[in-house]
Chain A
């Protein structure tokens, strides 16, 4: 005989504990701390818009947590940011706090010019595990794999597609479950050579391009973490590149020359011009697409690899780092903790541009786009099975542009192009 009361109680208990777990997950807030002693800091960022957002956050920090502190916030545009940073490092004059990219982190960390933030995160009780590993692993350094950066924001990749073209071709709109085969099928049907319209362009550049497809096979794209080994000649890489080259060879994807360049912006502009049905683009492209697209469009996660069933996105996260030679490390770390805390990240969430790294703020970011038919949540979903950046600046031109031009413009075989890229990468790896 079943005791229904007991069963009911058991069910309620299970449900309650499940919801308690969820409640804990939903509120993993990072709390800001008052600073021990105010002082002055210099800070560099490379983006004008972020500077505005960060400036507001800093004002709030000064008011609520560190009265009397002064921050000299400067914008050094991306085009000169890294040269200036290096020059200042050479002169022993690094800014106290500055924005860092995952591709450049290795250089600075391996030259011992960055402050280890791990002790400060520990002291402030920050649970670093709440950031996804793709977001922060590239910022770990040293024997203990300490975290050297506080993640500011992230971007993931998805397929932007032209709804009108799908409807005109009588195709069903793609869903997050679609596979490489579905994608190839759609690309074929959406191509219209007579009207100079292509089905897709998804190969260009490291972040938005072919590495996402390699990651879906289960292979770490381009190089293994820690500059360990070139993976472009691995089976997974060859498979993914050959899949993309197949679409190119059949005329479903335009060459680099036709879209006008090897930057994903070139492909994106081609898509905006209505010459392309599907394009791989980052979440940072949302504001531009919302503003400029003259057709109906939406975003969908990258298609799944038919065997692994995985859809994977490269995730890149900009980080705040501090200089190892900062005169007031406590203050610098305190500011960084504030900027990555829920309070500090609100400013990024509400600005509706790039997505804030703090998971507690992601929903708020999605909502900041307001009433739109575009499925913004796609980019948050893409975080789930994402791949962190493992490449570094010295090999950037080769893996970002050259391999792509070789395969998708000059028609070199995937095997030869991958071989050539690996030969160069090998010269840049630690011996």
Chain B
């Protein structure tokens, strides 16, 4: 009995000792995660089965919150808005960050400075950045309005018009994620063996052909990682909505800027429906999980790991 338990940690004393060391080292993190993440997640699951306004004791309602959710047009609108944002963000994030990474991978004067500049938004507080962007997108006196003034778009209500409001939110999200993705791509680019390029040059391949046939395939693991992270991040967009629409209508006119994450915040802290909001959180988690698993499945078709072949 004891032996079989001990064997779980390895079959020889040495491997066991190593395994124990490893566990001791990760223990603080794992315990912290369990306490401050695991328990609240379980509690949220329990809350999602209750009706609770945080003033009166919660009432158990079974799956009511979930059936209500499926029939709530505001939920579907929030989901749709989130999908629209993802459609705007993911391709732009990948294209621009790859472009910047490729440019900054060249021998360029002031390369380190540029890399820092592109990375700065990542370490800038989203709230502060979103405040500044609110001013930039303000009609009449804002930067964007004045740049577009020759087109007669000076007074465009970027943050009030329900048809436009997702664009500035997407733009700020891309701007802020660009630097992080760029770093991942830079690391990926530097791992591409130079000999492949040299061989391609000898074979007469031009710049585009080398990029297309060497860089892109060898970068695909990085691209995959960036896509997964970008999608997960996209599902969680909240700060930008919260701050950029604060001066007009939070969550956009008619809910036009309400993402799933903002929707669940609104239901919890504005409408005081903590049970319903927890149900939204759970559904958001399941959607994100589902999409990520699907991506993991699909990666076999297009991600190329050098070591495997």
Confirm or deny: B275 has a beta carbon within 8 angstroms of a beta carbon on chain A: no
B-facing residues in A378-414 (Cβ within 8 Å): 393-394, 397, 401-402, 405-406, 409-410
Contact status A89-B54, CB under 8 Å: yes
Chain A residues with CB under 8 Å of B269's CB are 83
B272: CB under 8 A from chain A? yes
Which chain B residue lies CB-closest to A398?
A: B249
Q: Are B160 and A257 in contact (CB under 8 A)?
A: yes
Nearest-Cβ distance from residue A58 to partner chain B, whole angstroms: 27
Cβ-defined contact, B55 with A402, below 8 A? no
Give the 8 A-B CB pairs with smallest separation, nearest first: A261-B247, A111-B55, A257-B139, A90-B54, A401-B249, A402-B249, A86-B54, A257-B157
Would you call the interface of chain A mostly helix, strand, loop, or mixed?
helix
> Residue on A with the closest CB to B54?
A90
Binary flags per residue of B255-270, CB closer than 8 Å to A gives 1, else 0 = 0000000000000011
Chain A residues contacting B253 (CB-CB under 8 Å) are: 402, 405-406, 410
**B contacts, CB < 8 Å to A:** 53-56, 138-141, 155, 157, 160-161, 247-251, 253-254, 269-272
Beta-carbon nearest neighbor of B246 in chain A? A261
A424 to chain B, nearest CB (A): 9
In the complex the two chains form, is A405's CB within 8 Å of B248's CB? Answer: yes
* Shortest Cβ distance from B274 into A: residue: A90
The reply to whether A394 and B140 form a contact with Cβ atoms under 8 Å apart is no
A178 to B248, CA, bound (A): 31
Given contacts A113-B55, A257-B157, 4 further A-B contacts (CB under 8 A): A83-B269, A107-B272, A258-B141, A262-B249
Given A258-B139, A260-B141, A262-B247, A90:B160 Cβ within 8 A:
no
A139, chain B: closest CB distance, angstroms: 17
Q: Which residues of B contact A113 (CB under 8 A)?
A: 55
User: In the docked arrangement, what's the CA distance between A195 and B254, Å?
Assistant: 34
Bound together, the chains give a CA A78 to CA B160 distance in angstroms of: 26
User: In the complex, A89→B272 CA distance in Å?
Assistant: 13
**Chain A interface: which size bin?**
20 to 34
A224 at the binding interface (Cβ < 8 Å): no
Inside 8 A of A260's CB, which chain B residues have their CB? Answer: 138, 141, 247
When C-beta atoms are compared, the residue in chain A nearest to B271 turns out to be A394
Q: Which residues of A contact B161 (CB under 8 A)?
A: 410
C-alpha spacing A331/B271, complex, angstroms: 34
Which residue of B139, B140, B141, B250 is within 8 Å of A397 (Cβ)?
B250
State whether the Cβ of A343 lies closer than 8 Å to any Cβ in chain B.
no
Q: How far is the CA of A263 from the CA of B271 in the complex (A)?
A: 21
Distance of A111 Cα from B53 Cα, bound (Å): 9
6 contacts between A and B (CB under 8 A): A90-B54, A107-B55, A258-B141, A266-B247, A397-B270, A406-B253
Scoring B140, B155, B247, B271 by chain A CB atoms within 10 A of each residue's CB, the highest score goes to B247
Q: Nearest chain B CB to A86's CB is how many angstroms away?
A: 5
Q: Do the beta carbons of B55 and A90 come within 8 Å of each other?
A: yes
Tell which of A112, A262, A402 has the most Cβ of chain B within 10 Å. Answer: A402
